[in-house]
Amino acid sequence: MTMQRLPRRALPVLGAGVAVLVGVTLPFWRGAAPATQAYPAEQHVRAATALPDPAPASGRSDAPAPPSHEPREDAIAALRTRFAQSSLRGTTPDGALALDAAGRVVANAELRRLFEWYLALTGEFELTDIRSLFAADQRDAHGAAAAADALALFDRYIGLREAAARIDGSLDDLAYLDALIALRRQWFGADADAMFGAEEAAQALSLERLAVVGDPTLDATERNALLADIDARQPPDERDARARFTDAELAGEQTRQLDALAADPATRHAERSALFGDDAATRLAALDADRAAWQRRIDDYVRSRDALRSDTSLDPASRATRLATLRERSFADHERRRIDALDAIGALPPGG
């Protein structure tokens, strides 16, 4: 039995992939409304952080940082104790703070990633507490002057997030991106290019790609030529990431088709080799074998489980003990967590 081969550039899959790639950036700023949803007590936050006005068009303001009203050391110690039990426990900060030759904080993409790492605590900590943790950590690592400079930039970043949440939600993605780019320059001036420029360029290309994919007036030749031009303007690492993403989508879709056709191993290898090469086809066959083995183990477990459940000679306590023993014998610890998750969503056969 054979199947129709998927084209190397399958536009429906490609379009879905681009949508996901755009989705990891733009919706963070639009729709999620970080100011109004993540920080419901906005007036309290503004009073506590003394948010500055947007930066002048010429660049970062040289005005002194707003008063920090630093909490006492025992309050910081308490916050750090809470942090040790937070969702970020055991992680290392994403991003980094760097200083220039004059000892001022460098506003770049790494600093922005550091801001977001701390802001991931939103919902577990008040914004004022997140701000205090950030300031204390930077003071310990870089000194009081650098911490004050970093804190002023952090406050400006919060102000930008609040302002972005008020952009007209009815704008299409391209108009929204234009408005967001302008707003970032209002708040960060010349520093905005270093903080957001690479992401903005990637977003613009992704939106351009979506427009090409969805343009019904283009024939296949025109569409492929335009997409190739967009690809050529992407940084090499992003081109590689897109290729890996698209290949994974294609492989998954092809596997679903092969499964639906009950294709034999020889057919599966031939079809996969045509798309991805011989080595990849061999690796995908190994994944098929692993998946089939896992499914057999689940099937064996379900049959034994159902037999115990229907055994009327067992009292409830004995049945529960034997079911627990069966699960422990059938699966390792990490596998039992997966089985429990499947149970919880009803993904095991009836009675799971």
pLDDT for the residue numbered 57: 52
Please compute the mean of the pLDDT values over residues 308-333 and round it to a whole number: 92
Please compute the mean of the pLDDT values over residues 327-340 and round it to a whole number: 86
**What are the residues whose beta carbons fall under 8 Å from the beta carbon of 34, sequence distance 6 or more?**
28, 161, 162, 164, 165
Answer whether 0.85 is exceeded by the pTM: no
Structure tokens at 291: 């998946």
Q: Which long-range contacts (CB under 8 A, 24 or more apart) does 239-245 make?
A: 242/17, 242/21, 245/17, 245/20, 245/21
pLDDT for the residue numbered 136: 94
Start-to-end CA span in the chain (Å): 35
pLDDT in tens, 215-244: 889 888 888 889 888 888 877 776 666 666
What is the per-residue DSSP string for 211-273? HHHT-TT--HHHHHHHHHHHHHTS-HHHHHHHHHHHHHHHHHHHHHHHHHTT--HHHHHHHHH
Contact 251, 276 (CB under 8 A): yes
pLDDT for the residue numbered 67: 47
Contact 253, 17 (CB under 8 A): no
Q: How far apart are CA 281 and CA 230, in angstroms?
A: 29
pLDDT for the residue numbered 336: 85
| Confidence check: pLDDT of 121 > 60 | yes
Q: Which long-range contacts (CB under 8 A, 24 or more apart) does 95-100 make?
A: 97/138, 97/141, 97/142, 97/146, 97/150, 99/142, 99/146
pLDDT in tens, 64-118: 444 445 668 888 889 899 988 888 888 888 899 999 999 999 999 999 999 999 9
Domain parsing of the chain, residue ranges = 31-166, 248-344
pLDDT for the residue numbered 109: 93
Please compute the mean of the pLDDT values over residues 23-37 and round it to a whole number: 48
**What are the residues whose beta carbons fall under 8 Å from the beta carbon of 321, sequence distance 6 or more?**
none
How does the average pLDDT of the chain come out, rounded? 79
pLDDT for the residue numbered 48: 40
pLDDT in tens, 275-320: 778 888 898 999 889 888 988 999 999 999 999 999 999 999 999 9
Q: How far apart are CA 187 and CA 248, in angstroms?
A: 39
pLDDT for the residue numbered 276: 78
